[in-house]
Structures are given as structure tokens and as C-alpha cells.
Amino acid sequence: MNAILNPKRRTFLKASAAVGGGLMIGFFLPGASRDAEAAAGPIRLNAFVKVGTDGKVTFLCGQSEMGQGSHNALAMMIAEELEVDLKNVRIEQGGIDPAFGNPRYIGFKAVGGFQGTGGSSSVRNVGVRVRHAGAAARFMLIAAGAQRMNVSQLECVAENGWVNHQPSGRKVSYGAIANDAARMVAPDDPVLKQPSEFKILGKRTPRHDTPLKVTGKALYGLDVKRPGMLIATVAKCPVFGGKVKSYNAERALKVKGVKKVVQISSGVAVVADSFWAAKKGRDALDVTWDEGPMAKVSSPDIYKNWVELAKGPTAAERLKTGDVGAALASGAKRVEAVYEVPFLAHVCMEPMNATAHFKGDSVEIWAPTQAQSWNQHAVSQLTGLPPQAITIHTTYLGGGFGRRLESDYVLDAVETSRAAGNVPVKAMWTREDDLQHDFYRPASHNVLEAALGGDGMPTAWRHRIVGASILQYFKNFAHFLRKDGLDPTSVLGAADYFPYDIPNVYVDYVNNNPGVPSGFWRSVGNSQNGFIMESFIDELAHAAGKDPYQYRRQLMAKPHAARLRAVLDLAAEKSGWDKPLPAGVHRGIAAHFSYSSYCAQVAEVSVAKDGKMKVHRVVAAIDPGWIVNPDTIAAQIEGGIFYGLTAALYGEITVRNGRVEQSNFNDYKIARMDEMPKVEVHILQGQGEQGGIGEPGVPPIAPAVCNAIFAATGKRVRKLPIKPEMLRT
């Protein structure tokens, strides 16, 4: 209470009267607020809580909602700390504002001022500040209520939207004192509730956006309509890096409904009064392309080059403990393997799209984006407009998975709007556009060696990764690319957290950019390296003649691996690891740490003689730190399992003559509903850092399935995707 009574203290939070009356709370972020504090005028905030005179609470959220449930989770945090019924909290999507900046992102150093959603960061990074805002508002309302009732604050408590004076039983509603509370000074460090006090957090809570989606009221990017809006599609060169040489605008303009044909940076845009007219006009363009040097690049050549690079003497060191060379030379047994993973597309349910209205001195954008700040920066560079002249309205996202961290589809809309005469334009991609002009999950070639001692336990582990780099394409994070070529995203899951107690470990990386655009994909480097590490440790267990679960468990003896060991134990227990399975069904196990969460999975698999396999059941255990909404955690782990499983079964982008060979779901398959196994999710209440949940379900599924395939057939899957011809007997 001292901060409330002492306005001279510099506060972490700021209170003000809301427009129309009531209390508004916002909170600062280090980095996001520094520029604002230095600037004249009102201090910019990164999130707001408004308590109206009617007692209703509005939570303005800067995070994007793409199905992961962050809006609901953050609203639960506000409601918990503010002491209001969640039903009385209205959630609004925030606009573009540095105050919504996320200070930590996908495991890198602090990036102050970045507004975006990815890396399972919403709850674990923004959530604590949301809780502080709710708690500060609660203390300020208590102060205002005590003042109104002329009683001591120490005798008052907040409960369900009221301030209660405990000795007398008198109480006053939040709505009645909201304006008074706005004049209070926010506390610097409000006391947060302890888990034992939680009434909302940790409980299974329905999502607020479910009714909107069921009834069709949820606004996605493709739903945006503006007065006078036209529709555009863009013809892009099928070869990476190619450019327009010539095109026939007159043919396109003869298509009914086509209004304009304009050349923009990414290709030729056809602007029409409907999507179908724009597409037909695009088909009529007869574009001739300057295909450039990538026209000679094909997948076999890429992997052949990587094989040679893996043999070379030069690589960027990422992890080194002990003397791997000496340990490999003196080991009782040596195990070697080569693993390969392909490029992968994101295939969001909603193809790329954005709507923009360039107005000369400003631009307004409506987009299903994960990266408001980067979009604003990219548009500013494109147009020369200052950031404050660029407004971004974030719609619901029909899937993100990292694809919508890019700005290409937004720039299509802005540039077409400007070139077409400053009219509002919705730029829409087809599924073929989406698959053939993605920023793909990087492929990699991996060489592993290990030495086992006389007891079968590993004494040395060496892992060389050769592959494409995300950061060479993702300029917003280019400063994280080391001078020796090491891309931190490429070694995630292989070197940033090494759970196994092996005395000699060496992990290095060879950066080779084959010209295929690379980008963030759900769980980033963990998606490849989780598969590789957990498959190879299974190979070591087999070489040692030991049970793969017990082998891992023995290697996780040190304290830093205790939480991963706990989920490994839970998954094994709940799957009945030591119990018999039906004839022909076999188990595989894997465990992985990512985004500050610990996840283990056991897969039950059968393989027919023709090589066709079926995953019958997956038992997952997750420790995400303290729990917000168990329903959302379970849903995200289930979704991650399906996303990772479908990639393991079918995911593969191949390049021929600089072109992506896949074009739609007929040749880039997604697993069907009847291929989804029964999934059980068991949540372990962890102690420690808050973890993410959107991505940790992905890395363990492929190795768990492939390890089960080995148990069933004796065949190791070292190259994804899993193909029946690999498994035929």
C-alpha cells in the first residue's frame, strides 16, 4: 500500500482516467517504454485494463490470436488478479503500438519494443506483466473503496468486483469507485496472488472465442471488407529470386471484372472486383520470367553438397565439453548415424492475405499477422512513411505456425493499393501460391557419432549439423547470426539444453544457404533436432542392450534434467511402459525441452508387411511451469502432436530447377482425421520458470513414432518423411 500512498515513488505501472470514465491501468516494458518516457506527451503503455463505471472490465491485448488461446489465458490472468468474474471481462484486440512490445522472443536476448506473437511467448513473457496490471488495479480499487467508506485499507479486501470492509460487512462496487481509483498512484510492485489463492487460474475454462468461431462472427483476414475495396492476386516467379521480364496486361484487362494490372516488387498484381476475376486475369497475363541463377538448383544437388560439407574441417562450434576426439578413439563401442530432414511448408488453414489502403500520407492495414512491429517497419521502408502513419488492425489468424511472422503478404497489399491508385485492396493468395512461395522450415543433414563405455553408457557424443539458415533470410534477427555463420535457431534442441549426462560432447554447425527461403516453423530448430537427438539416443540404448526408457532415465540423473526426467517418468507410467500391448503393436519413447517446457511422449505403433503404419495411441506428459488453463494446454499438446506427426508422415518440400514441386494437398499431404491417434495429455505442475505450450508438443512425436517403428521392425528411420517402402518386409 505504500506505493499507493506515496506518489513520489517512480511506478512500474501508470493509472489514468479512461475515456468515458473509469479506471485504466497500463504497464511498462523495459526497452518498450524507454523511448516513450523520453518523448514528450503521455507515456505509452504496453497493455491496458479498463474498469468501467458499470463494473465491466475491458482487456486490450496486443498478442495475436491464432488458435493457441493466448487471449483467453491472458484474460484469465487479469480476472484472477483483479478479483472479477471472467464473464465480466471483455477482450479486445490491440492495435499496433510499441507499448505492446514483447521483451523476450524465441529464446534470444531481449528485443524491446517488438510487438508480435511466436515462440510460445504470450503467457510466459507477457503474462507476468498482465498479472501485475491486474494486481495493481486491485490495490488501487481497494484504496479508493476504503477512502469512499472512510475506513482503513488494511481492513478491506477485493472480491468478485467489490471492495469489502471486513469488520462491518459494508462494500462498494468497482464501478462506483472506478473514477476515484483512477486518481490513485499505482504500486511499484504489487503483491501477486499465490497459487493457493487462485480461483480462476488452473481451472478448466471455456474459450471466449469459441462461440464467435462457431457462429461465424470471428473476423479473419479473409473476412475483411472495406468500402470500395478491390481484390488482387499476384503472379510471382515460380523460381526463387526470379524477376518479371515481360507480361501481357491487355489480355488480363479483357477479363470481365479486372480493373487494373500493376507491376510490384514481388511480381505482377491483377486488381479486380472479385477474387475469381483477379485469378482469371492473372492466368491470362502470359508472364515471361527472368529465372536467375536458382533455375539450376534441385534438391538432390543441395543434399549432395551438404554431404561433402559435413566432411570438411570448418564448422561453427556451439557446444563443447571434455575431449570428444579422445573419448571417441578410446570407447569400447562406437555408434555412427546420418540423419536428414526436409524443407517443410506451414500450410496454414487460411492462406496468406492482407488488406491495405494506401492514402498517400498514411496507410491502414488489416491483416492476420503475428508480427505487428515488423510489418510496420517493413511498410515504413517500402513507402517512406513514418511508423506513426501506419495503422495495423490485427484480425484472427487462421493458423500461424511462424509463417505470419513474415511481411511479404502484407507488402503485396500495400504496394498494390498504392500502385492501383490509393484504393483499398485485399491481396489474396491461392493454396498453390501459399505452398510455392513460403518461407520453409530449413532442411538439414546431420552426422552423429558416439562412444559407449564398457557399461554401455555413452562417454562421447558428436553432432555436426549442415543446413539452411533462417536468420540469413529473417533480417529482423540478422544480428543474432554469428560471424562464423552459426545460426542459433539451427541448433535449438541440440545444444542450447543438453539433458544427458555425457562427459564429452561436441556440437557444431555448417551454414549453407542453397537459396530456398527459410523461416520459423512451429518449434523452429527443435522440430529437427528433437527428432535427431531422441532417435540417436535410442540407437545408443539398443547398442548397449538396455531399455530405452531406463537408459534415458539413467542419463538424466543430474539436477538440471530433473524436470525432464519427471515428465519422462510420468509418460512411461501413464502409458503402461512395462505392460504388454496387443500383438503387433510396439512402443517408442522420446523427451524434449523447448520454450521453457518439458515434454515426453510414448507412441504406440503397428507396421504392416507392406510398410503401412498406424499410430494407435500417444501418451504425453508436459511440465509447463504453473498452469493457466488445463484445457488449452491439452489442446495445444494435441495440436502439436498432430502437426509434428503429419510432418513426419508426409511433410517434404522438394525443389527442381529452382521450383517447388508440390502445389496443393494432393502432393503435400496432411494427415486425415482417421490417422489421428488417441492422445492422452497428462499435465505436471512444475516449479520454476513459466513455460510455453504452443510448440513443445511438436519435437517428441516424430522420434517417439520412429523409435516405436524400430521396436516393431528393427529398421531405423533416419530420413523423414516416413515412407512405406522404408518399412516393407
By mean pLDDT, which of 199-203, 419-423, 475-479, 525-529 is the weakest?
Answer: 475-479
How does DSSP classify residue 559?
Answer: G
Q: What are the grid coordinates assigned to 506, written together?
A: 561436441
pLDDT in tens, 429-480: 999 999 999 999 999 999 999 999 999 999 999 999 999 999 999 988 888 9
User: What residues have CB less than 8 Å from 583, skipping those under 6 apart?
Assistant: none
Q: Sheet of 585-594: strands edge to edge?
A: 585-594, 597-607, 613-623, 678-683
The DSSP code sequence of 412-457 is HHHHHHHHTTS--EEEE--HHHHHHS--BBPPEEEEEEEEE-TTS-
The DSSP code sequence of 203-251 is S----TTHHHHHHT-S-BGGG---TT-EEEEEE--SSTT-EEEE--HHH
Residue 396 β-bridge partners: 220
The DSSP code sequence of 54-110 is TS-EEEEE-S--SSS-HHHHHHHHHHHHHT--GGGEEEEE--S-GGG--S--TTSS-
Indicate the angle between helix axes 630-650 and 525-544, nearest 10 degrees: 80
pLDDT in tens, 104-133: 433 333 344 688 999 998 888 888 888 888
**Closest CA relative to residue 57, chosen from 136, 134, 131, 158:** 134
By mean pLDDT, which of 58-62, 70-74, 509-513 is the weakest?
Answer: 58-62
CA distance 62 to 97: 8
Q: What are the grid coordinates assigned to 246, written together?
A: 515481360
CA distance 414 to 431: 21
Mean pLDDT of 510-526: 97
**Closest CA relative to residue 677, chosen from 603, 585, 615:** 615
User: For 638, how many CA atoms within 13 A lie in the half-sphere containing its CB?
Assistant: 16
**Is 221-292+352-428's fold the same as 299-344+440-727's?**
yes
User: What residues have CB less than 8 Å from 666, skipping those under 6 apart?
Assistant: none
pLDDT in tens, 566-588: 999 999 999 999 999 999 999 99
**Closest CA relative to residue 694, chosen from 509, 527, 444, 529:** 527
User: For 311, how many CA atoms within 13 A lie in the half-sphere containing its CB?
Assistant: 5
CA distance 319 to 497: 10
- Is residue 677 within 8 Å of 603, Cβ to Cβ? yes
Query: CATH classification of 221-292+352-428 is 3.30.365.10, yes or no?
Result: yes
CA distance 548 to 558: 18
Query: CATH classification of 299-344+440-727 is 3.40.1360.10, yes or no?
Result: no
pLDDT of the residue at 27: 44
Q: What's the mean pLDDT when you consider all of the chain?
A: 91
CA distance 498 to 536: 14
* pTM recorded for the entire structure: 0.92
Q: Which of 24-28, 126-130, 378-382 has the highest mean pLDDT?
A: 378-382
- Is residue 523 within 8 Å of 699, Cβ to Cβ? yes
Mean pLDDT of 411-436: 98
- Is residue 401 within 8 Å of 521, Cβ to Cβ? yes
Q: Sheet of 162-165: strands edge to edge?
A: 156-159, 162-165, 171-173
Q: Are strands 390-394 and 425-428 parallel, antiparallel or unpaired?
A: unpaired
SS3 705: helix
Domain ranges of the chain: 2-207, 221-292+352-428, 299-344+440-727
CA angle 686, 688, 692 (to 5 degrees): 75
Q: Which amino acid is at 197?
A: E
CA dihedral 210→213→219→222, nearest 10 degrees, is 140
Judge whether residue 362 has pLDDT over 60. Answer: yes
By mean pLDDT, which of 40-54, 302-316, 562-576, 581-595 is the weakest?
Answer: 40-54
Q: Band of the pLDDT at 21, cuts 50, 70, 90?
A: low
pLDDT of the residue at 113: 60
CA distance 620 to 605: 15
Topology (CATH) of 2-207: Aldehyde Oxidoreductase; domain 4 (3.30.365)
